[in-house]
Chain A
């Protein structure tokens, strides 16, 4: 649980888990004005089973990430009373219960059920009483969440989401040969001139030779910026009616690849014409049953709000005096992070990268805290050989003449004398015997490294024991270990 430990200490992550959002009380987007009333009702931590995770190895990291998020020092100022719903499996629940201080409502899903995020939402929809913020458990970020939520409130949006620039992998991922990065399908994201309104979204896989943009969109937003190097952070603010819609419309299985593109598309189909076609619609509904369900039929009219916006001279665009939110009733917004930390830990590579980044930001983020983030129970037998860019868990013992650089060490580890650790992630209760050299590797819980091991670019599974003098280079786990290791991972899979 080291990353979590580290971040928990940091409070880096300004409680990214938040959240439940009430509809805006006024059209004003002034954050401070809204904050006191923003006693958010509900939050969800959609902790997926990691269906997108690349390998079973990431299960551990995922757990870490959870704990990382759940130990926030300060909640975001806006969100004083946040109710968080965590959807997870039993094993994680145990961990969470022991570790967190936050008020959580944990919903368990059966271990064997393969539920996506949408299924999870459907599962808990009775608990969702207001607008909701959904995020996945593998998100590590220091974005100030109000950016996303403010967009949502200021524009009375149907959806607001977070995106960031994709990062390039810099170093070799242990256990993988070379930099064989899977060729990902690029997403084409079209935003308007302000960079906030989400106008267009398509995946490379769905397009043939060309990208098609409708004229009507360009007439309303004549300048569209199409960007490709963006990654969805899987953090969504959704209106309550979207959840209702999902509950009714069983054909959606994924937020990312189905719901979001659907909503983005629906922005530019006008509700008026829908009403004209209502008769047809009804017929269709009978025919196609659920398939014809439309998001518009779920939009709830708030007469008070409408009355208010009619009286106000404020509107969400410049250049004319039209009503506050001209055009369709569905509006999607996106906040694109310019800098800062944002990782979705869904591959081992990203997990390592995230650890690295968190480490390097420790000092920046903690401000008044000690420069070296060493837990107070940390026990060093002799001169502290620990560099400034490490994170150490509690009750870890470090022997003499040992040097640790650029690494994260978990709690209750024992590191003996003359050990060299560079660029490593060492989880809890790991024992490293004398004279070992660890480089660019990941050691999972309870691993034992016997004397004199020389390890580079390796991935050591939970509870593995490396024989003395064994030399491991470049090839990941030893063949026998590899398989065993993987099996072990699966058995402790969250």
Chain B
């Protein structure tokens, strides 16, 4: 460690600086800007109690890892910018070794509640002119053992040679796709100049299936452009003071991503360049979501971040001394392990923890002073301090925060989170992705002013109902609110899915998607498939436009002729075929009443709302439904709608009846639709609906009668 530190300083010392005579003057001490705030709420509700920078990774706060990294790499002065819960961070750091007089790295705190983004922080750096020369910019959740000095040397050399054209060097770690420390939401793709390491294009993948690179990348005299998908953004960058100035000049830059994008786009205008440095051997990651939390934690225990391993006790905290034994078992002082309990591998147990008998623990981290009962199974469990776990508990891939209490017989499935002081159980099984917190979800808005995120959605959701704890959710003796939207209607169900995703982060999916994607390009040549997708979009846009038109028609009593005219012009504008018009029109009209209904469970009300609409718009339908195929298209669209909304199935007969009575659909067409054989399983089920059968029967009889009448 010491050797590394001094090497770092040497490296830092050998480069040039911006001074008038770099040969003579020693470079100024290396500075760093540490942003101890993420400016997002990915860790809610965990970070409600504790700022993200203080979350324990293998029982040590994240920010300690970051500071250790900075100190080891030769930083002598670090500005710590805090915003959310700044007092806690400050308190933690003042107690730590970084604030002792012997610390080689001087900490300076800058706190303000006004910071909204990284951009604000850097603008403040510029305003207060805190930095004198090149500095390292990291966020407070970076865990790394990268020695930056080589990159720093390269950076300084580049700046000396090219007259400050290069403003920033980003540091990446090489890791192939599918590496578990690469989470999907931070996945990047990068295009660089193979010879000079200059970054040409930087983009988050965001689940895109195709990456587009503007041709301008290839125009210049670059012999070889490397497209790299094997990089992990460590969120460590070496910045020149210009970076802070640029943030001031461009007040719309919020994040580093904005900055990089802006710089690359305006490269020709401003002439600023970004370079990169990729390291293959060292470790670097930043904890951006719980999935990453888990990955980084297990990497620390598996000693990938050497020399920052638990038994090194780099924070120099007496309570953090561990012994290291085979299979990466780390034990703190005064740990007691009951008879028959097995620590299989990769387990860290904090000081003063008591574990009962016949437990099985694997790949887990247990904090200090925890009490664990008998016959407990912990698999990828992350327990913080003072957690109580009763007998016969099973916990898989979950996080349990300080002083939480898990009662007897509880089972936690993957991706569960229990925040501080939560009590669950006894005898309850929490489904996958359960998040329980003492903060009710609707409390969010109160202290929300500093975040502009989209989490206000859950707000209106039954405040009164959540005043008491729901026993079904947290168990008879439980305390805590389920952070989960009630599954009343579809929109919110999606929301819940999103929340779980956002807390844990999407898992990396490999392979599978590439297969499906290759399907796309299989038969058809590439240009074809490219042609298809915009067309789909057009239909969608067209649908929205039709919806808007009809809405206006409804509100302002526009005559049907005018509606037809408008739809026709839309049809030409988006180049939509007759068939699609039929489908879209039917779909839009049928969905129309849904917006007035709270739930879609009530077929009666649905019919009541729909029928007057149909009556109003009969001329519109009649204008489009003329040929036999139009009738069928409309019927298929109706069928599709009811397949999607199964609860409304019972009203199908009535809707068809209305169509028939309004003479929009002809009876023989309805019959031929009904008797169609090649339908899906669901379609057949739909046709078994009693009322529909009755209606069809009635139609058949009516037809017979009328045909008889004709014969007469």
Binding site for B on A (CB under 8 A): 186, 188, 190, 204, 207, 209-216, 218-220, 222-229, 265, 268-270, 272-274, 277, 280-281, 284, 292, 294, 319
The 0/1 profile, CB within 8 Å of A marked 1, for residues 210-232 of chain B is 11111101100001111111100
B228 touches A273 (CB 8 A): no
Closest to A328 in B: B518
A215 touches B526 (CB 8 A): no
A216 and B214 in contact, given A226-B224, A226-B227, A277-B522 (Cβ under 8 angstroms):
no
B194 touches A225 (CB 8 A): yes
The answer for the CA separation of A186 and B218 in the assembled complex, in Å, is 10
Closest to B208 in A: A215
A190 touches B227 (CB 8 A): yes
The answer for the CA separation of A190 and B177 in the assembled complex, in Å, is 18
Q: How many A-B residue pairs have CB under 8 A?
A: 115
B513 interface contact, C-beta 8 A: yes
A265 touches B230 (CB 8 A): no
A274 touches B215 (CB 8 A): no
The answer for the CA separation of A272 and B224 in the assembled complex, in Å, is 34
The 10 closest A-B pairs by CB, nearest first: A216-B514, A222-B230, A218-B229, A222-B229, A269-B518, A210-B212, A224-B227, A211-B213, A226-B225, A219-B177
The answer for the CA separation of A53 and B517 in the assembled complex, in Å, is 40
A273 touches B226 (CB 8 A): no
The 0/1 profile, CB within 8 Å of A marked 1, for residues 508-532 of chain B is 0011011111110111001000000
B526 touches A265 (CB 8 A): yes
A223 touches B226 (CB 8 A): yes
- Give the Cβ gap from A435 to chain B, nearest Cβ, in Å: 47
22 A–B pairs (Cβ distance < 8 Å), ordered by A: A188-B218, A209-B214, A210-B212, A210-B214, A211-B212, A212-B211, A213-B213, A213-B227, A214-B210, A214-B521, A215-B229, A218-B227, A218-B229, A219-B511, A222-B177, A224-B229, A226-B218, A227-B224, A227-B225, A277-B522, A277-B523, A280-B523
The 0/1 profile, CB within 8 Å of A marked 1, for residues 607-619 of chain B is 0000000000000
> Which of A214, A292, A294 interacts with B209 by CB under 8 Å?
A214
Which residues from 212 to 271 on chain B have a C-beta closer than 8 Å to any C-beta of chain A?
Answer: 212-215, 217-218, 223-230
Closest to B518 in A: A269
> Which of A213, A227, A272, A274 interacts with B223 by CB under 8 Å?
A227
A292 touches B223 (CB 8 A): no
- Give the Cβ gap from B222 to chain A, nearest Cβ, in Å: 8
B431 interface contact, C-beta 8 A: no
| A residues in contact with B205, CB < 8 Å | 215
| B residues in contact with A274, CB < 8 Å | 522
- Give the Cβ gap from A96 to chain B, nearest Cβ, in Å: 39
B189 interface contact, C-beta 8 A: yes
> Which of A211, A216, A223, A272 interacts with B230 by CB under 8 Å?
A223
| B residues in contact with A270, CB < 8 Å | 514-515, 518
The answer for the CA separation of A219 and B175 in the assembled complex, in Å, is 11
> Which of A213, A226, A280, A294 interacts with B210 by CB under 8 Å?
A213
The answer for the CA separation of A161 and B210 in the assembled complex, in Å, is 27
Closest to A214 in B: B210
A210 touches B215 (CB 8 A): yes
The 0/1 profile, CB within 8 Å of A marked 1, for residues 643-683 of chain B is 00000000000000000000000000000000000000000
The answer for the CA separation of A280 and B524 in the assembled complex, in Å, is 12
B518 touches A292 (CB 8 A): no
Which residues from 496 to 515 on chain B have a C-beta closer than 8 Å to any C-beta of chain A?
Answer: 510-511, 513-515
Closest to A262 in B: B525
- Give the Cβ gap from A444 to chain B, nearest Cβ, in Å: 38
The answer for the CA separation of A211 and B217 in the assembled complex, in Å, is 10
| B residues in contact with A209, CB < 8 Å | 214-215
B176 interface contact, C-beta 8 A: yes
A277 and B519 in contact, given A209-B215, A215-B210, A218-B189 (Cβ under 8 angstroms):
yes
- Give the Cβ gap from A17 to chain B, nearest Cβ, in Å: 31
The answer for the CA separation of A152 and B227 in the assembled complex, in Å, is 25
Most buried by A among B218, B513, B522: B522
The answer for the CA separation of A272 and B511 in the assembled complex, in Å, is 13
A269 and B227 in contact, given A211-B218, A212-B212, A219-B178 (Cβ under 8 angstroms):
no
| B residues in contact with A273, CB < 8 Å | 515-516, 518-519, 522
The answer for the CA separation of A186 and B215 in the assembled complex, in Å, is 11
The answer for the CA separation of A186 and B213 in the assembled complex, in Å, is 16
| A residues in contact with B213, CB < 8 Å | 210-213
The answer for the CA separation of A188 and B223 in the assembled complex, in Å, is 11
The answer for the CA separation of A204 and B215 in the assembled complex, in Å, is 9
| B residues in contact with A219, CB < 8 Å | 177-178, 229, 510-511, 514
The answer for the CA separation of A218 and B205 in the assembled complex, in Å, is 11
Closest to B175 in A: A222
B226 touches A292 (CB 8 A): no
B176 touches A319 (CB 8 A): yes
- Give the Cβ gap from A330 to chain B, nearest Cβ, in Å: 12
The answer for the CA separation of A223 and B526 in the assembled complex, in Å, is 22
Closest to A221 in B: B229
| B residues in contact with A186, CB < 8 Å | 218
| B residues in contact with A218, CB < 8 Å | 177, 189, 211, 227, 229
The answer for the CA separation of A227 and B194 in the assembled complex, in Å, is 10
A213 touches B211 (CB 8 A): yes
The answer for the CA separation of A227 and B229 in the assembled complex, in Å, is 17
A215 touches B514 (CB 8 A): yes
| A residues in contact with B210, CB < 8 Å | 212-215
The answer for the CA separation of A220 and B230 in the assembled complex, in Å, is 10
| A residues in contact with B208, CB < 8 Å | 215
- Give the Cβ gap from B100 to chain A, nearest Cβ, in Å: 44
| B residues in contact with A214, CB < 8 Å | 209-211, 517, 521
- Give the Cβ gap from B93 to chain A, nearest Cβ, in Å: 38
The answer for the CA separation of A214 and B518 in the assembled complex, in Å, is 9
> Which of B229, B510, B513, B519 interacts with A223 by CB under 8 Å?
B229
> Which of B194, B218, B517 interacts with A216 by CB under 8 Å?
B517
A215 touches B211 (CB 8 A): yes
- Give the Cβ gap from B32 to chain A, nearest Cβ, in Å: 30
Closest to B511 in A: A219
| B residues in contact with A265, CB < 8 Å | 521, 526
B218 touches A268 (CB 8 A): no
The answer for the CA separation of A212 and B516 in the assembled complex, in Å, is 18
| A residues in contact with B209, CB < 8 Å | 214-216
- Give the Cβ gap from A270 to chain B, nearest Cβ, in Å: 5
Closest to B207 in A: A215
| B residues in contact with A277, CB < 8 Å | 519, 522-523
A272 touches B176 (CB 8 A): no
A268 and B211 in contact, given A215-B205, A219-B177 (Cβ under 8 angstroms):
no
A268 touches B518 (CB 8 A): yes
Closest to A327 in B: B514
The answer for the CA separation of A215 and B208 in the assembled complex, in Å, is 7
| B residues in contact with A272, CB < 8 Å | 515
B517 touches A207 (CB 8 A): no
The answer for the CA separation of A343 and B213 in the assembled complex, in Å, is 31
Extra 9 A-B pairs, beta carbons < 8 Å, given A212-B211, A228-B223? A211-B218, A214-B209, A218-B189, A219-B510, A225-B225, A225-B226, A227-B225, A265-B521, A268-B518
The answer for the CA separation of A122 and B298 in the assembled complex, in Å, is 60
The answer for the CA separation of A403 and B178 in the assembled complex, in Å, is 69
B226 touches A226 (CB 8 A): yes
| A residues in contact with B194, CB < 8 Å | 225
